[in-house]
Amino acid sequence: MKYIEKREQPEELTRWIANTSNPNYKNFTKKTIKKKTRKKLLEDQGYICCYCQKRLVEYPKGGNVEIEHIKPQSKCTNIETVSYDNLLVSCDGNQRKNNDLLDDNDRHCNNYRQDKSLCINLLDEDCEKKIYYDFYGGIYAVNDDTKVEKTIKNLNLRILNSTRKAYIEGFALEKCSDEELNHFKNYFNNKNEEDGKQMYPEYAGVMINLLNQLG
Ligand SMILES: [Zn+2]
C-alpha cells in the first residue's frame, strides 16, 4: 500500500454533479465522465492498484481497473458516492475469472473488500507506517494492529505473496551498494514515463518500504 496524493476533482465531474438532480453512484452512468474520472484517479495513483500495487491497465474493455470507495458506499451520503475525494482505483482482484467459483481465499482488492470499512487511510501521508513487508512478499500490520490486519488480510494470498517475492528477488537488494540502493529509492519514489503516461513502478510501496528497512 502506498500514500496517494490526490489532485482536484475533474471539472467534468464537478459539472455533472452540479447539473444532476440527486447525483449518486447508481446514476453515475455517463461514460465520458466516468472515463475521465477514472483516468484522473489512475494518473494520481501512477497506474498502480491502491491495495496490491499491481499495474492497472485500461484496455481492453476497462482492463483490470475498478473504481473503489474509501468510505463504503453503504455508509456514504449520495454525494459522497461520487465525490472525487472518496474514490480510488484498484485492480479487479480476480473477479473476471469465473467469480462465482471463487471463495474468499481467491479474492483480493476490490473483489474481496466489497463494502467493508477500510482501516488504513491511503490519503494520509503517514499511512505507510501502519504496515510493513518482508523480503518473502508478506505484508503485516505494525504492532499487530488487528483492524489493519483485517484490512490487509487478503493481500497475503499465496498468489500475491509469490508474485511480490519474485519481484523483490529480481532486484537482489541484499547485494546492492549504497549508491545502487539510493538509485532504487529514487526510482520507486517517483513516477516514470511509460507508454506516454506517468506511472509508478509496480509494487513501488513494497519496494520503498523494504529499501527503508535497509537504511
Ligand atoms: Zn489489487
Distance in Å, CA 187 to ligand 1 centroid: 21
Would you write out the chain's pLDDT as a tens digit for each of its 215 residues? Answer: 999 999 999 999 999 999 999 999 999 998 899 999 999 999 999 999 999 999 999 988 778 999 999 999 999 999 999 999 999 999 998 876 666 666 777 889 998 888 899 999 999 999 999 999 999 999 999 999 999 999 999 999 988 999 999 999 999 999 999 999 999 999 999 999 988 999 999 999 999 999 999 98
| Amino acid letter, 107 | R
Angle of the 204-213 helix axis to the 158-170 helix axis, nearest 10? 60
Distance in Å, CA 176 to ligand 1 centroid: 29
Distance in Å, CA 170 to ligand 1 centroid: 20
| Amino acid letter, 48 | I
CA distances to 33, 43, 178 from 10, in Å: 9, 12, 41
Q: Is 89 in a helix, a strand, or coil?
A: strand
CA distances to 113, 170, 212 from 189, in Å: 27, 18, 11
Among 39, 53, 37, 68, smallest CA distance to 3 is for: 53
Q: Are 137 and 165 in contact (CB under 8 A)?
A: yes
Domain limits, the chain = 11-213
Which residues is 133 bridged to in the sheet? 139
Distance in Å, CA 215 to ligand 1 centroid: 27
